[in-house]
Structure 1
């Protein structure tokens, strides 16, 4: 689990260097003693500086593992750093600065590349990977610019303003998720709309496009179950949009890597699984439960998990998380235990550093740490059982600055 807040604590966000990586032993978390669990703790700036002593990575945001779980990939959203760590040894083996913002870096299932969503750079970038040899290369020739130029349909990639329908006003990528074959990737966009891309092409190529007439801002995360790619839009679109929580699904088989036939823009139409509109909601983390029977959608504003039946795309339950264990957990990103009987959630802190609208406080929580949710009825329901707290108190004002966000579970 990653704490985004800097080390040492600071009241000036731009001075926050590094953040921390917490590694918990899942066996201890299963013994109803999460609050006593003693994680390994690493200062991420120090790990990065083993590779480059001038590096000052800020705000670690997202963490994933490659398919073999040999390496962890960490992206820093306040800088453009991507850090790769050898999981067994905790040894840093690669560091690169891709530019403005590395919001999320996600490895392909076939372990040949990593896609970096360079948020304010409005780029998707590719790191070619050889995990066995610890060889990683940022392939500049593969970069896909999402802001300039046109799509294969002839439309401008980015155009219009946020108050217009049927446009793509802000093509800042939030996530570029490869599909299960590694031949396609789905790119969510902060301003709404979506791109489907060919991640193997050089440069990477657009294979499908959507505008805000079909997919609302602000694009967030994605998860695949079978032939369905689920993705959501949530809070973060600004005070004028208020809270938001929309879940969509698209058939992966509807798209092909270029230069195969290019679908008409905004087709096929996505299934709207749910749309909670302007309620006090903020859809964020997505997770398929064991055997992909259910999809869990974390709502950090409403303190709940929305449960979707992946066979019917019906909402079948809502798991309320606020209560005795935490009065305001603000669940963010989710990870599942290898056995499928527990789901881990990052719980946000009282000073959220990312994704929070200060007029709404959609990402603000009161118990920063790792939430342990017991999975029931095969994933149809669950209960927040424990919280393993983390802390990063600012010694200038005694305020709690810890703000967990990224999480990934390693099987070993």
Structure 2
């Protein structure tokens, strides 16, 4: 006969690893304690009180239950992945073309490896061409090229992959790692790209920053009454031209259903309108010298209510767009004197929107942080130009200076939260050139960021960043896009570290240790240090260079 230790509140029903024989009874347990050892003694009194034995075993059961329940709770809270977008070429690498022609990799790190000490560098590696979208050339007219970033849907079920060079948006199932849809953005007279895709907090919209095409476009996420995704629809009627005029639209967007057996549709409806207005609702030119000189769409950051996007522009200036209409409509406009060029970092915090601007040209220093309201009208209503002004601005004193090799460049930002309370605490704004972070406390007074500047920390002090094949220097991390860990109450930041042969923003993004950087935060979250770098490698055709060029790291919560 047997006896199983168990607990109806434990994440298991029963367990049996070791059987211990007693003269008249069998006890089974998965560990051997001093209490159980006592019963293995051949000289034990056969008249031992059975009540004491049972009470002893019950105590052991409860102790084990608490231990395993605690471990299971930790595993559930820390069960996550980090997806790293490596935009280095992986295809067409030959002796005659050593740097390759197109491609890229997605590297997926499991929290079970990342939470080890030291962390284990054992990612699942997916080539974006051969593993995910091998038929892109045949179905869309171009191979997927230069994976710039990855953003999850709010439920972490799907991952959106944006390809800046080829203009593709890929949808991948986060659980199975299988491709679902492939879209290609509108071709215009100025180009066809997808610099960054963002997903609305309500999980109904994906925005496409058609950078060189100078358009903001939208994919609608379709769901059934149970809230399950049934399709992704490229709403061509929703596209807004940030320049306007006739002869702009050359080719309509493309949709490809990559997996016909998953019951998820991938479609295009409507048509991107040519001849859209070249003026804002205030009758000002959308694009003009000295106002908004180059309306390449950089990053559309979506508001908490999923109704507006803050659309930063390559040449400076910004539009706030109502993203609920078709076509989407401008409801606020800012010129380059208010919002500088090349802003990309953005996150909401405490009901405000935090945005940044970084360097737009070699050696030009630019590091500005803005706090905007999230109170904007819906179309057809709109605000007057440059209204409302930012609630607060923090501008580095070196802005606008020509500083050879030591200018500033604000790019990736992370808001560190207490994962237990959900309270926003500190914003860490990274600098790709100076390899450091400026830290700001997310507390009143909201109108003064200078009073909330907590200080600066460097990513070079530990020496965790070394060098790699073909790098001309060492200990030059070059932090790009980053995200907060979901394990250990959010005590780490995962950041993409650029390579020595950057495929984008070469004037600010050449680094010496391409890979996934791990920043351990201080106990008060006001500082951090680069403790580990998990290196990445793509060897050139002449074996002289490491082509790896990670651009973004994003954390995905596991669903199982």
TM superposition score normalised by structure 2:
0.69
Q: Distance between the aligned counterparts of 1:383 and 1:325, measured in 2?
A: 9
Structure 1 vs Structure 2 CA RMSD:
1.8
Match of 1:330 in 2: 478
Change (3 A) 1:60 1:13: farther
Match of 2:431 in 1: 299
Q: How does 1:260-339 map to 2 (within 5 A)?
A: 260=381, 262-270=382-390, 271-275=392-396, 276-277=398-399, 278=401, 280-290=407-417, 291-311=423-443, 312=445, 313=449, 314-323=452-461, 324-326=463-465, 327-338=475-486, 339=489
**Which of 85, 90, 102 does residue 17 from structure 1 map onto?**
102
Change (3 A) 1:13 1:179: farther
Change (3 A) 1:352 1:68: same
Match of 2:116 in 1: 31
Alignment partner of 1:392 is 2:527: no
Match of 2:371 in 1: 249
**Which of 318, 321, 333 does residue 197 from structure 1 map onto?**
321
Q: How does 1:88-99 map to 2 (within 5 A)?
A: 88-99=175-186
Match of 1:356 in 2: 506
> What is the CA-CA distance between 1:12 and the residue it aligns to?
5.7
Q: Deviations over 1:234-271 (max 9, x none)?
A: 11x224x7131111111112x122123x2211122222
Q: Distance between the aligned counterparts of 2:365 and 2:539, measured in 1?
A: 29
TM superposition score normalised by structure 1:
0.92
Match of 1:151 in 2: 280
> What is the CA-CA distance between 1:396 and the residue it aligns to?
1.6
Segments of 5+ residues of structure 1 without an aligned counterpart are none
Q: Deviations over 1:198-257 (max 9, x none)?
A: 00101000010000121111222211102211111111x224x7131111111112x122
Segments of 5+ residues of structure 2 without an aligned counterpart are 1-83, 187-191, 245-277, 418-422, 466-474
Match of 1:113 in 2: 205
Match of 1:78 in 2: 165
User: Is the 2:151–2:554 Cα contact (8 Å) retained in structure 1?
Assistant: yes
Q: Which has the higher contact order (CA 8 A, sep 6+)?
A: 1
User: Is the 2:520–2:528 Cα contact (8 Å) retained in structure 1?
Assistant: yes
What SS does the corresponding residue of 1:333 show, helix, strand or coil?
strand
Match of 1:232 in 2: 356
Q: Deviations over 1:102-127 (max 9, x none)?
A: 00011111111100000000000000
Higher radius of gyration, 1 or 2: 2
Comparing 40-49 and 293-302, the one that deviates more: 40-49
Q: Deviations over 1:342-375 (max 9, x none)?
A: 1001000111111122xxxx21110000000111
User: Is the 2:219–2:233 Cα contact (8 Å) retained in structure 1?
Assistant: yes
> What is the CA-CA distance between 1:378 and the residue it aligns to?
3.4
Number of aligned residue pairs: 398
Q: Distance between the aligned counterparts of 2:538 and 2:99, measured in 1?
A: 16
Q: Distance between the aligned counterparts of 1:206 and 1:372, measured in 2?
A: 39
Q: Distance between the aligned counterparts of 2:424 and 2:111, measured in 1?
A: 21
> What is the CA-CA distance between 1:128 and the residue it aligns to?
0.8
Q: Deviations over 1:12-58 (max 9, x none)?
A: 69953220000001232122323x32000000112443564625011
The structure that is strand-richer by fraction is: 1
